[in-house]
Amino acid sequence: MVAASMKILLVEDDDLLIKVLSRNLTTHNYVVDVVKDGEMGWTYGSTFEYDLIVLDIMLPKLDGISLCKRFRTNGYSFPILLLTAQDNITAKVQGLDAGADDYMVKPFDPVELIARIRALLRRGSNNPFPLLTWGDLLLNPSTCEVTYNGRPLNLTTMEYDLLELLLRDCQHVFSTEELLDRLWSSEEFPSEATVRSHIRRVRHKLVAAGAPHDFIATMHGRGYYLKAINTEEFSTQLATNTNSNYTAEESIAVAGEKLSDGENYRPASDYQQQYLAFLNDTWKSTKAKTLDQIAVLLQTVRDLQANQLKTQQQAQAQQVAHKLAGTLGIFGLTKTIHIARQLEYWLGGREPLQPKHAPLMKTLVMALQQDIEQTTLIQMSQIPNGQSPLLLIFSSDSEFNQSLADVAATKGIRIEIAPLLEMAKTLITTESIFDAVGKNPDVVLLRLPISISDSDNNIWEILQILAQRYPELPIVVMSDRNELSDRLEVMRRGGKLFLAAPISAEQVIDTTVNLLRGTEAAQKVMILDDDQEWLRTLPTLLKPWGFKVTTLADPQQFWTVLQAVTPDALVLDVNMPQINGFELCQILRSDPHWQRLPVLFLSVLTDAASQNQAFTVGADDYLCKPVKGVELANRILRRLQRVKAWAS
């Protein structure tokens, strides 16, 4: 939760994305103006005052890159966050070179978007500290909690906005006109009496909490400001703000969400349920529109089959696929997003499509249509059971702890921090982590001190006790000593993963997220072999491990099926008619999208030359026939686990 009084211009032409983004931004207490083309974006951005602009790249009249350049050329310095479905390095470099401050690829997590906006606004803020204080008044932007001398203030959204604005620039006298401009969007037309009414209500609530009547003072003819506190108090306050080590609750507590003016705050869990209901309600109307777009793509396929597809029609179909990818991303439909992006890729190729491409295009469009038709309910799968996962950190490094806290907030992960050495004795003498820290964690991270010796038995005891008492609890150990002896000690004591410093906070949290994902979804395995009898046997052999197996006997259909299935692992035979497995692996590795797909060869060839050639063309593993189901399954699982554990 951030800067309730901040004003944002959203330049986006997708009505659905506008609806969802506007809701998220206003729920997080931003004032939002929306325009739908680049020229109008320039008119608004150069006329009104904004704290930040959220800008799509593909816009009518003036594209986002050109608009960004125009703002920078004319001296506008407000932060610009670009949004686009173009997930490639060239587009990112163009956007950043044009003057953008950050770049997000659709689909994106709304929590991460808000965190990035918060970070951009914080860079230019005069007060970068996580808490805003003035005398006995304390406002926590992370939780939207306001207290005076320890007593909570129950504020509406606009009252909170007003107080936060005064706190963020406490030496400034705000005129009524400034408050109207900062706190209300261009679509609202409040009067000066509205401002006076809000000031009066905030004053009344402050006085009820024990504040003086003139805590918000009036300078007649000029406006409103916070009454100055004495110099000694002010110096003490600055020192406290600068040096405090805020607790996890103060810095990244799960935020309560603010609603429309006149309503009070609600817990984050309530907001998640409300947002999920909002998405499902929106999907009811959106689903029909996406199926209409599918009809456009199906007509494109029919024209392609008849060799009647025109260049302009292909370009329009590419735009449809692009919009579909963005729309589906809002609802978190990962598989359908991938198919839509594949369609966009093929439709946007440098050369016009040929009739020979029609089977591939039809397969992709039909798969997309089927997935959309079968989607009746949107689910928040990234938050299991509606509960944010908890990461327990044993660490005495305050800077490291704060960096993790900032990143964890963007990933929807709660953290609890306990000093390492101080907690050692407590943990050893208590029966459970719950007794020691008050909560049951989902993952534990041990940050070892920079210098440890063999005599530091308490540190290793923490690890061993945790592993013995909670065998299902993943334990990650981070150390500045990247020694084999340390790695061995961690593994022997029960550690799950070993991270060698230096490592970024993002990498640490991503490791945690990957551990939390578990193996809920069935892993998709694609097997290509010209032995039909063998193909009929494999699904039965692999069934006990829960794999979703797709078999294929014709290598000519390899690419079409690969694009449609998007497997998590691929098993290839070597000797096949027309195209051998080595050639297929080379084709696969030549495509950046498939370079990290685990590839296992399964062949009757046992000679060293064949095995060496397999690894030369990009194989991850090589097995010889005949093979037992358990051996093949374990080889596949090991490759999948490695990809998952170290995926960025």
- The per-residue pLDDT for range 309-320, each reduced to its tens digit, is 888 889 889 888
CA distance 530 to 141: 62
Could you tell me the two tokens for 360? 């591939």
Amino acid identity of residue 451, one-letter, is S
Q: To 5 degrees, how large is the angle CA 116–CA 15–CA 44? A: 65
d(CA 297, CA 259): 40
H helix intervals, 306-332: 311-330
Cβ contact 209:149 at 8 Å: yes
Beta strands, E only, 349-438? 390-394, 414-418
Is pTM, for the whole model, over 0.75? no
pLDDT of residue 420: 61
Amino acid at 455: S
Cα separation values, 108 from 84, 122, 335, 595, 635, Å = 10, 21, 15, 23, 33
Of 72-76, 97-101, 375-379, the poorest mean pLDDT is in: 375-379
10 pLDDT exceeds 90? yes
pLDDT at 4: 42
Structure tokens, 617: 């063309």
Residue 386 or 537, more confident = 537
Out of 265-269, 465-469, 642-646, least confident range = 265-269
pLDDT for res 384: 33
Residue 67: predicted pLDDT: 92
The region of weakest confidence among 338-342, 466-470, 496-500, 596-600 is: 466-470
Rounded CA gap, 135 and 534, in Å?
77
Residue-averaged pLDDT of the chain: 76
Cis omega (within 30 of 0) on the bond before 60? no
Of 507, 310, 499, which Cα lies nearest the Cα of 403? 507
Contact 121, 52 (CB under 8 A): yes
Residue type, 419: P
d(CA 205, CA 252): 26
Alpha carbon distances (Å) from 345 to 44, 88, 159: 34, 12, 48
Task: State which amino acid sits at residue 202.
Answer: V
As to burial, measured by CB atoms within 10 angstroms (0-12 exposed, 13-18 middle, 19+ buried), residue 188 is exposed
Asked if residue 343 has pLDDT above 60, the reply is: yes
Report the pLDDT value the prediction gives residue 263, as an integer from 0 to 100: 38
Residue 548 CA to residue 543 CA, distance in Å, equals 8
> Does pLDDT of 571 surpass 90?
yes
| Structure confidence at residue 37 (pLDDT) | 92
**Average pLDDT rounded to a whole number, residues 586-591:** 86
The pLDDT of residue 274 is 67
Average pLDDT over residues 219-226: 82
The answer to whether the CB of 29 falls within 8 A of the CB of 157 is: yes
Residue with tokens 């014709």: 554
What CA dihedral angle connects 73, 76, 80 and 83, to 10 degrees?
-50
Question: In Å, how far are 404, 416, 499 from 446, measured between CA atoms?
Answer: 13, 12, 10
Q: What angle do CA 409, 412, 414 make, to 5 degrees?
A: 70
Maximum Cα–Cα distance for the chain, whole Å? 93
**C-beta of residue 394 within 8 angstroms of C-beta of residue 426:** no
Is the per-residue pLDDT at 14 higher than 70? yes
Residues 133, 114 contacting (CB under 8 angstroms): no
Has residue 409 got a pLDDT over 70?
Answer: no
Distances (CA, A) of 522 to 283, 328, 364, 590: 25, 21, 21, 27
pLDDT band at residue 295 using 50, 70 and 90 as cut-offs: very high
Taking residues 362-371, report their average pLDDT: 88
In single-letter form, the type of residue at position 175 comes to: S
Q: How far apart are CA 36 and CA 12, in angstroms?
A: 5
Residue 249 has pLDDT above 60, yes or no: no
Question: How many H-runs (helices) and E-runs (strands) does the chain carry?
Answer: 25, 21
pLDDT-derived band of residue 122, with 50, 70 and 90 as boundaries?
A: low
What's the average model confidence in pLDDT over 581-606?
A: 87
Which of the two residues, 511 and 359, has the higher pLDDT score?
A: 359
Which position has the token pair 């099926």? 561
pLDDT at 544: 62
544 DSSP 8-state letter: G
- Which tokens go with 604? 């009757």
Mean pLDDT for 179-206 is 78
Q: How confident is the model at residue 294 (pLDDT cuts 50, 70, 90)?
A: very high
- Tokens for 328? 């589906």
Host H or E run for residue 498: strand 497-500
